[in-house]
Amino acid sequence: MRTPLMTALSNPLNLAMLALSALAGLIAAWWLFPLGLALWAVMVLAIARDQSVIINYNMQARQASLSPRFQGLYAKVVRSQMRIFNSLLSASGRTRRAMEPVQGAVEELVNHVFTVCEQMTAPENYLKISKGTTDLEGERALLVLGMKGISDPVVRKEKEDAVRSLEARMGENKNIAAMLDRVEAQLSGLVATMDGLLAEIVRLQAGGSARIEQEAPNLLQKMHQETDALKALETEAAQHPG
């Protein structure tokens, strides 16, 4: 996976500019090389600082650390962020300035999405391993069956303690599974919310910059509400084992 800088350096147009600069310096006039080199540096920086390139790189770098269940959801959220960004590329300066706080709020929201997905990776792995290596319900059934006919109070208490321990683990696993389902549902809803934000931005752009300026605070408030909901989910997710 290439960094934004490596992407910029390996861009065919940038490579062509570097080669032409060197060729012009050797064949035509020496001063053409430093001039071409300066232009090449500007072209490289333009791509390396391109927000769409940075967003895509961050998505790929982060996505690899997530479990398969949440990789797709995170990717969908980032793609929504990218579409929102791209929708404003051709907008007027007035519109872009009005939407800067909203774009910042969207970026903050995406960062929290990644944090939640990352927090859920360990509990999901724990649950997979627990289910894959141990049949808790089967063990409990065998213990309960084995308790029949036991008259020794010490042995019976040991069996009962083992049953309670298994039931506690089964209950915790159910809680973790419920949390995973809840996070997945909330993130799926968030994807729909961000797609709705994009549609709203496109609609408002058709009404002109003044309309965007008027409605931007409402859009910003929506993003802050989504971020607050995710922060609450982060706090709750941190309480689960991993």
- pLDDT greater at residue 114 or residue 6: 114
Q: Residue 208: which of 92, 87, 104 has the closest Cα?
A: 92
Residues 105 and 31 both lie in one domain? no
Q: Which domain holds residue 135?
A: 67-237
Task: Check pLDDT > 60 for residue 4.
Answer: no
Residues 19 and 71 both lie in one domain? no
Domain assignment of residue 174, yes or no? yes
Residues 156 and 229 both lie in one domain? yes
Residue 65: the pLDDT is 76
Residues 6 and 123 both lie in one domain? no
Residues 22 and 102 both lie in one domain? no
Length of the chain measured in residues: 242
Residue 100 is classified by DSSP as: H
CA dihedral 163, 168, 172, 177 (to 10 degrees): 30
CB atoms within 10 A of CB 196: 12
Burial classification of residue 183, based on how many CB atoms lie within 10 Å of its CB (0-12 exposed, 13-18 middle, 19 or more buried): buried
Separation between Cα atoms, residue 130 and residue 124, nearest integer Å: 10
User: What pTM was estimated for this model as a whole?
Assistant: 0.68
What is the mean predicted confidence (pLDDT) over 107-117? 88
pLDDT digits (tens, 9 = 90+) for 188-229: 999 899 888 888 888 888 888 888 888 889 999 988 998 898
Domain assignment of residue 109, yes or no? yes
- Indicate the residue type of 37: L
Residues 33 and 86 both lie in one domain? no
10, 4 contact by CB (below 8 A): no
Domain assignment of residue 126, yes or no? yes
Residue 51: pLDDT band (50, 70, 90) is low
Domain assignment of residue 58, yes or no? no
